Structure 1
Amino acid sequence: MANDARGSIVLTADMRAVIRSAHLCFAATVTPEGLPNLSPKGTIRIWDDHHVFFLDIASPGTRANLAVHPWMELNVVDQLSRRGYRFFGHSTLHASGEIFERAVRIVVGEEKARYPVESVVLLEVHRAAPLISPGYWHVADESAMRAQWRERRVALEREFEDHLKLQGVFRVDR
């Protein structure tokens, strides 16, 4: 991963592909009291060669933490490939303005959904490290891993849907 003159890294093609494939990432921040906080984020996107962003939709804790401690880490993993990246860097919050408007437009344009966005979190990536499942010790390559987990996900999703039906939360017609 090449660093540029500012100290941020340049996102590689593979990093970009993993980010685009991820439906969810996890944001690690630190509370004002110094305690760890981990929060799921479902709108991660690439901003440019050095930045990623997500929409702050329902994240008052993350927003409060970043206002005090702007350094954070995002973990992004492709669920089927069971690999991804840890992105560490400095964040900025944008509650209005050009960055806010453009980021909201990007996500709404892709997802065709309107969210009550409080702010946009823009992360300048200073470090990135790969995340790779130990499952690769037993599986030949990434295509085999994806096939194995695609098959397994069907059973896991069916099991969870059955659980939801028992709870009366979810109705599935098969």
Structure 2
Amino acid sequence: MPILTQEMKDMIATQQCFVGTVNADGTPNVAPKRSTRVLSDDSLIFTEGTGGATYANIKRGSKVSISIVNREILDGYRFVGNASLQESGELFEQAAAMSAQLGRPKPFAVVIIHITEIHSLKPGPSAGKKIA
């Protein structure tokens, strides 16, 4: 099981994450998810507020890829995993409260990504290579 390093956690906390899923017709879907954050050493979470393609794809069982890059230091990661939706419960209520504080509507769900692979997005020979 891949484990997030502190460097990865710090990057997730400070940089924009992009979530990739697969549409029903096989085409890729990529969406920025500003709410992406670390849930545990081996999982990420984001608030699904739009109910769009990413949400539909995950409901259908699409695997998920989350990419993050820090252009200032030329480093980044891609996290691949399986997603689970929570449309109620403690994590959902926490996300709903956070959305309300920001003046946003109640989310559709929270999405938990159980990381199965981590890849480097650092330029050079390690680009795209599985590191965990």
Pairwise TM-score range, normalised by the shorter structure: 0.7 to 0.9
Q: Which residue of 1 aligns with 2:121?
A: 131
Residues 82-93 of structure 1: matches in 2 within 5 Å?
82-93=74-85
Does the 8 Å contact 1:30/1:69 carry over to 2?
A: no
**TM-score, structure 2 normalization:** 0.82
Matching residue within 108, 111, 115 for 1:121: 111
Deviation at 1:104, TM superposition (A): 4.3
Does the CA-based 8 Å contact 1:32-1:69 persist in structure 2? Answer: no
CA deviation profile, 1:118-170 (whole Å, cap 9, x unmatched): 11111001111111146xxxxxxxxxxxxxxxxxxxxxxxxxxxxxxxxxxxx
**Structure 2 counterpart SS, 1:132:** coil
Shift of 1:103: 3.9
Query: Distance between the aligned counterparts of 2:82 and 2:111, measured in 1?
Result: 10
Query: Cα distance, 1:86 vs. partner?
Result: 0.1
Q: Deviations over 1:68-116 (max 9, x none)?
A: 13311000112422321100000011111112123445xx39xx51322
Match of 1:19, as an amino acid? I
User: 2:92 and 2:62 mapped to 1: Cα distance?
Assistant: 17
After superposition, residues 9-28 of structure 1 pair within 5 angstroms as 9-22=2-15, 24-28=16-20
Cross-structure match for 1:47:
39
Q: Distance in 1 between matches of 2:71 and 2:92?
A: 29
Inter-CA distance 81–115: structure 2 relative to 1 (3 Å threshold):
farther
Extract unaligned runs of 5+ from structure 2.
125-132
Name the aligned partner's letter for residue 123 of structure 1: I
One of 49, 66, 77 as aligned partner of 2:58:
66
TM-score (norm. length: structure 1): 0.64
Runs of 5+ consecutive residues of structure 1 not aligned to the other structure: 4-8, 135-174
Over aligned residue pairs, what C-alpha RMSD do you find? Answer: 1.8
**Paired-residue identity, %:** 30
Deviations 1:23-43 (A, max 9, x none): x21111011122111111111
The AA in structure 1 aligned to 2:27 is: L
Query: Which structure dedicates a bigger proportion of its chain to helix?
Result: 1
Instruction: Name whichever structure is richer in strand by fraction.
Output: 2
Instruction: Decide which structure has the larger Cα Rg and report it.
Output: 1
1:78-117 alignment, distance < 5 Å: 78-105=70-97, 108=98, 113-116=102-105, 117=107
